[in-house]
Amino acid sequence: MKAEISIPESLSEVSLSNYQKLIDVINKNPEAYDFIQQKTIELICGIPFDLVTKIKLKDFNSLVKDVNILLEEKPKLYSRFTLKGVEYGMIPNIADDLQVDEFVDLGAYFDDWEQMHKAMAVLYRPITKTYKHQYTIEEYEGSDKYALALKDMPVSVVLGARFFFRKLGIELSRATLNSLSPESEEGIKLRQTLAQNGVGINQFMHSLEEIYLNSN
């Protein structure tokens, strides 16, 4: 049986949901190299797994090579993107305007690929007004409002946001925490919420720093 196989031209054609599934496969089967390759072709190219196993070996090896090149695509920051007719925008002026509740939720979700759609629902929300290159987005009402919809967002946007925010995150985390005195209402709220979510301040900062160093 012959089937036409189309390789995405960029990661903008790959959904966050499929990328999450691939990460899950890798995490659960770290030494199953052949199986990971097959699942990669299935999830990145959108081919049923039973058809992947029927591909001629020489064609399969060529596919793996091309997909690996695709997965090495350099991250690019997207401040705006459109999904199913809705335009989403990243929090404007994030270094200055990130709220305590947004910061806390990012700390809870940002390093967990299973919950990456929730992290993206913190960073990106529907645009309400635009003026030239400026825009405003909906007020934050919790990540659950758009998390499910954002499972279909391009993974290129996710990777770009993660790369950008991790570089920004070290200074942002320190600046945010240093600006909140332990006695302030905001400071108490932040520390209580971090504790309830099981995310320690030092743990979050260490995670950001470690991955930032690895990415460079």
List strands edge to edge, sheet with 124-131.
80-83, 86-90, 124-131, 134-137
Q: What is the mean pLDDT of residues 63-73?
A: 89
89, HSE (Cβ side, Cα atoms, 13 Å): 16
Six-digit token pair at 179?
Answer: 């600006």
Q: What is the mean pLDDT of residues 105-109?
A: 86
Of 39-53, 141-155, 195-209, least confident by mean pLDDT is: 195-209
pLDDT at 167 over 80: no
Q: Which pLDDT score, from 0 to 100, does residue 200 have?
A: 41
Cβ atoms 154, 58 nearer than 8 A: no
Q: Which pLDDT score, from 0 to 100, does residue 55 have?
A: 92
Number of structural domains, the chain? 2
Can you give the residue range of the structural domain that contains 30?
11-71
Whether 57 and 89 map to the same domain: the answer is no
Q: Which residue has the higher pLDDT, 157 or 196?
A: 157
Whether 118 and 150 map to the same domain: the answer is yes
Whether 88 and 66 map to the same domain: the answer is no
